[in-house]
Amino acid sequence: MDFSKLNCCHLALSLAVISGIETALFLGYSVKIGTKQIELEKYDKTNHLRIKELEKKNGHELHKIEELQQQIKDLENQMKINNFSV
């Protein structure tokens, strides 16, 4: 990059963008910088805690479902064994 062609307007614009990002971070936004785009997302602590609580509950429910599916398979195997032995 040729730095000799930079003038005060480029510098001011760069500083404005940087200060805007810093302000967003200070106000609780998360900044996602991608190719040719900047996305701001508000971090909400109450929703974040609620999401964590639901994920934990969902994990317990999934574990219970897996246990019940295993019990069903065990009962089906017992039925097959009992039907053949009769």
What stretch of H or E contains 40? strand 37-42
SS3 42: strand
Res 83: pLDDT: 77
Res 70: pLDDT: 94
Spell out the domain ranges in the chain: 7-43, 44-86
What's the pLDDT tens digit per position in 6-63? Answer: 788 888 888 998 888 888 777 777 777 777 777 767 666 777 788 888 888 888 888 8
Res 73: pLDDT: 93
**Residue 85: partners with Cβ closer than 8 Å, 6 or more residues away:** none
Q: Are 60 and 48 spatial neighbours (Cβ–Cβ below 8 Å)?
A: no
- Checking if the pLDDT of 86 tops 60, the result is no
**Chain centroid, CA 51 distance in Å:** 10
SS3 58: helix
Res 55: pLDDT: 85
